[in-house]
A = this chain, B = another copy of it.
Amino acid sequence: MQEKRRTNIQRSEATRSMLVAAARRLFIAHGYADTSTPDISEEAGVSRGALYHQFADKRALFEAVITSEAEAVAWEIERATPEHNNGNAHLITGAQAYLQAMGKEGRCRLLLVDGPTVLGPAQMRSIDGQSGATTLVNGLREIAPGADIDRLAASADLLSAAFDRAALAIDQGGAKDVYEAAVIELIETVAERLSAD
Protein backbone atom coordinates (compact mmCIF):
# COMPACT_ATOMS: atom_id res chain seq x y z
CA MET A 1 0.00 0.00 0.00
CA GLN A 2 1.87 2.97 -1.26
CA GLU A 3 1.13 6.70 -1.27
CA LYS A 4 -0.80 8.13 -4.16
CA ARG A 5 1.42 9.96 -6.58
CA ARG A 6 0.23 13.54 -6.89
CA THR A 7 1.37 16.58 -8.78
CA ASN A 8 2.59 19.50 -6.73
CA ILE A 9 -0.41 21.59 -7.69
CA GLN A 10 -2.75 18.87 -6.49
CA ARG A 11 -0.82 18.57 -3.24
CA SER A 12 -1.01 22.29 -2.60
CA GLU A 13 -4.67 22.56 -3.46
CA ALA A 14 -5.50 19.63 -1.24
CA THR A 15 -3.71 20.98 1.82
CA ARG A 16 -4.97 24.51 1.22
CA SER A 17 -8.56 23.36 1.06
CA MET A 18 -8.08 21.16 4.12
CA LEU A 19 -6.62 24.11 6.00
CA VAL A 20 -9.33 26.52 4.93
CA ALA A 21 -12.07 24.08 5.87
CA ALA A 22 -10.50 23.30 9.24
CA ALA A 23 -9.83 26.96 9.96
CA ARG A 24 -13.39 27.85 9.04
CA ARG A 25 -14.78 25.33 11.53
CA LEU A 26 -12.53 26.48 14.34
CA PHE A 27 -12.88 30.21 13.67
CA ILE A 28 -16.65 29.77 13.77
CA ALA A 29 -16.55 27.69 16.92
CA HIS A 30 -14.06 29.74 18.97
CA GLY A 31 -13.40 32.97 17.11
CA TYR A 32 -10.18 34.12 15.45
CA ALA A 33 -8.30 35.08 18.60
CA ASP A 34 -9.02 31.85 20.44
CA THR A 35 -8.08 29.59 17.57
CA SER A 36 -4.40 28.64 17.47
CA THR A 37 -2.40 27.53 14.45
CA PRO A 38 -1.52 24.24 16.18
CA ASP A 39 -5.26 23.62 16.57
CA ILE A 40 -5.89 24.39 12.92
CA SER A 41 -3.09 22.26 11.52
CA GLU A 42 -4.11 19.37 13.73
CA GLU A 43 -7.76 19.66 12.68
CA ALA A 44 -6.65 19.76 9.05
CA GLY A 45 -4.36 16.78 9.51
CA VAL A 46 -1.24 18.55 8.30
CA SER A 47 1.78 20.00 10.03
CA ARG A 48 2.10 23.59 11.11
CA GLY A 49 4.94 23.92 8.66
CA ALA A 50 2.54 23.16 5.82
CA LEU A 51 0.23 25.89 7.06
CA TYR A 52 2.99 28.47 7.06
CA HIS A 53 4.17 27.28 3.68
CA GLN A 54 0.76 27.76 2.09
CA PHE A 55 -0.20 30.94 3.93
CA ALA A 56 1.96 33.87 4.93
CA ASP A 57 0.50 33.92 8.42
CA LYS A 58 -2.63 33.23 10.42
CA ARG A 59 -4.23 36.38 9.10
CA ALA A 60 -3.76 35.30 5.48
CA LEU A 61 -5.48 31.99 6.23
CA PHE A 62 -8.34 33.88 7.84
CA GLU A 63 -8.52 36.08 4.77
CA ALA A 64 -8.88 32.99 2.59
CA VAL A 65 -11.74 31.76 4.77
CA ILE A 66 -13.47 35.14 4.63
CA THR A 67 -13.08 35.49 0.88
CA SER A 68 -14.53 32.05 0.28
CA GLU A 69 -17.44 32.76 2.58
CA ALA A 70 -18.19 36.13 0.99
CA GLU A 71 -18.14 34.56 -2.45
CA ALA A 72 -20.58 31.92 -1.32
CA VAL A 73 -22.97 34.58 -0.04
CA ALA A 74 -22.67 36.61 -3.24
CA TRP A 75 -23.32 33.53 -5.32
CA GLU A 76 -26.40 32.55 -3.34
CA ILE A 77 -27.82 36.03 -3.77
CA GLU A 78 -27.10 36.06 -7.47
CA ARG A 79 -28.76 32.70 -7.87
CA ALA A 80 -31.89 33.92 -6.09
CA THR A 81 -32.33 37.18 -8.01
CA PRO A 82 -33.45 36.72 -11.62
CA GLU A 83 -32.05 39.34 -13.92
CA HIS A 84 -35.32 40.51 -15.43
CA ASN A 85 -36.79 41.44 -12.10
CA ASN A 86 -37.22 45.18 -11.78
CA GLY A 87 -36.46 47.80 -9.15
CA ASN A 88 -38.28 47.48 -5.90
CA ALA A 89 -39.07 43.78 -5.99
CA HIS A 90 -35.52 43.03 -7.05
CA LEU A 91 -34.13 44.69 -3.95
CA ILE A 92 -36.51 42.85 -1.68
CA THR A 93 -35.70 39.50 -3.24
CA GLY A 94 -32.00 40.24 -2.87
CA ALA A 95 -32.36 41.22 0.75
CA GLN A 96 -34.29 38.06 1.53
CA ALA A 97 -31.67 35.98 -0.23
CA TYR A 98 -29.00 37.77 1.78
CA LEU A 99 -30.72 37.02 5.07
CA GLN A 100 -31.19 33.43 3.98
CA ALA A 101 -27.53 33.08 3.04
CA MET A 102 -26.35 34.68 6.26
CA GLY A 103 -28.40 32.17 8.19
CA LYS A 104 -25.76 29.53 7.58
CA GLU A 105 -23.93 28.59 10.74
CA GLY A 106 -21.15 30.97 11.70
CA ARG A 107 -21.32 33.30 8.72
CA CYS A 108 -22.40 36.26 10.80
CA ARG A 109 -19.50 35.79 13.17
CA LEU A 110 -17.03 35.46 10.30
CA LEU A 111 -18.29 38.22 8.04
CA LEU A 112 -19.81 40.70 10.47
CA VAL A 113 -17.88 40.35 13.72
CA ASP A 114 -14.38 38.90 13.37
CA GLY A 115 -13.82 39.99 9.78
CA PRO A 116 -13.91 43.75 10.34
CA THR A 117 -11.68 43.45 13.39
CA VAL A 118 -9.01 41.20 11.88
CA LEU A 119 -8.94 42.55 8.33
CA GLY A 120 -10.31 46.01 9.00
CA PRO A 121 -13.52 47.58 7.69
CA ALA A 122 -11.77 48.84 4.56
CA GLN A 123 -10.55 45.45 3.38
CA MET A 124 -13.87 43.85 4.31
CA ARG A 125 -15.62 46.33 2.06
CA SER A 126 -13.30 45.51 -0.81
CA ILE A 127 -13.82 41.77 -0.31
CA ASP A 128 -17.60 41.77 -0.49
CA GLY A 129 -17.47 44.91 -2.58
CA GLN A 130 -19.24 43.73 -5.72
CA SER A 131 -21.86 41.75 -3.90
CA GLY A 132 -23.37 44.01 -1.30
CA ALA A 133 -22.86 47.69 -1.92
CA THR A 134 -22.63 47.89 -5.70
CA THR A 135 -25.71 45.77 -6.30
CA LEU A 136 -27.65 47.85 -3.84
CA VAL A 137 -26.60 51.20 -5.22
CA ASN A 138 -27.50 50.01 -8.72
CA GLY A 139 -30.90 48.96 -7.47
CA LEU A 140 -31.45 52.40 -5.99
CA ARG A 141 -30.27 54.10 -9.17
CA GLU A 142 -32.88 52.19 -11.09
CA ILE A 143 -35.53 53.54 -8.78
CA ALA A 144 -34.21 57.10 -8.61
CA PRO A 145 -32.27 57.79 -11.81
CA GLY A 146 -32.03 61.48 -11.16
CA ALA A 147 -30.57 61.38 -7.67
CA ASP A 148 -27.03 62.42 -6.78
CA ILE A 149 -24.75 59.41 -6.99
CA ASP A 150 -22.77 60.02 -3.81
CA ARG A 151 -25.95 60.56 -1.88
CA LEU A 152 -27.35 57.35 -3.31
CA ALA A 153 -24.20 55.45 -2.38
CA ALA A 154 -24.48 56.68 1.19
CA SER A 155 -28.12 55.59 1.37
CA ALA A 156 -27.18 52.19 -0.04
CA ASP A 157 -24.46 51.91 2.57
CA LEU A 158 -26.90 52.65 5.38
CA LEU A 159 -29.38 50.16 3.98
CA SER A 160 -26.77 47.43 3.76
CA ALA A 161 -25.81 48.16 7.38
CA ALA A 162 -29.43 47.56 8.30
CA PHE A 163 -29.37 44.24 6.46
CA ASP A 164 -26.23 43.24 8.30
CA ARG A 165 -27.79 44.11 11.63
CA ALA A 166 -30.89 42.11 10.78
CA ALA A 167 -28.77 39.09 9.91
CA LEU A 168 -26.83 39.46 13.16
CA ALA A 169 -29.97 39.92 15.23
CA ILE A 170 -31.50 36.78 13.76
CA ASP A 171 -28.24 34.92 14.34
CA GLN A 172 -28.31 35.99 17.99
CA GLY A 173 -31.78 34.56 18.47
CA GLY A 174 -33.99 37.42 17.30
CA ALA A 175 -37.29 36.62 15.61
CA LYS A 176 -36.52 36.00 11.95
CA ASP A 177 -39.95 36.93 10.63
CA VAL A 178 -40.02 40.20 12.56
CA TYR A 179 -36.62 41.33 11.36
CA GLU A 180 -37.27 40.21 7.81
CA ALA A 181 -40.52 42.17 7.79
CA ALA A 182 -38.75 45.22 9.17
CA VAL A 183 -36.11 44.98 6.45
CA ILE A 184 -38.69 44.69 3.70
CA GLU A 185 -40.65 47.60 5.08
CA LEU A 186 -37.48 49.65 5.25
CA ILE A 187 -36.72 48.94 1.60
CA GLU A 188 -40.25 49.79 0.53
CA THR A 189 -40.20 52.97 2.57
CA VAL A 190 -36.91 54.16 1.13
CA ALA A 191 -37.88 53.19 -2.41
CA GLU A 192 -41.15 55.04 -2.08
CA ARG A 193 -39.38 58.15 -0.94
CA LEU A 194 -36.77 57.98 -3.67
CA SER A 195 -39.27 57.50 -6.47
CA ALA A 196 -41.29 60.46 -5.21
CA ASP A 197 -38.78 62.93 -6.65
Question: Which A residues fall within an 8 A CB radius of B?
Answer: 31-33, 113-114, 116-118, 121-122, 150-151, 154-155, 157-162, 164-166, 168-169, 172, 174-175, 178-179, 181-183, 185-186, 189-190, 192-193
Interface pair A155/B121, CB less than 8 Å apart:
no
The interface residues of chain B lying within 8 Å CB-to-CB of A150 are: 175, 178
For the complex of A and B, the 4 pairs showing the least CB-CB separation, nearest first, are A161-B165, A154-B182, A158-B162, A117-B117
Interface pair B117/A31, CB less than 8 Å apart:
yes
The interface residues of chain B lying within 8 Å CB-to-CB of A158 are: 162, 165-166, 179, 182-183, 186
Question: Closest CB of chain B to A172's CB: distance in Å?
Answer: 6
Which one of B121, B166, B193 contacts A185 once the chains associate, using CB atoms below 8 Å? Answer: B193
Interface pair A181/B121, CB less than 8 Å apart:
no
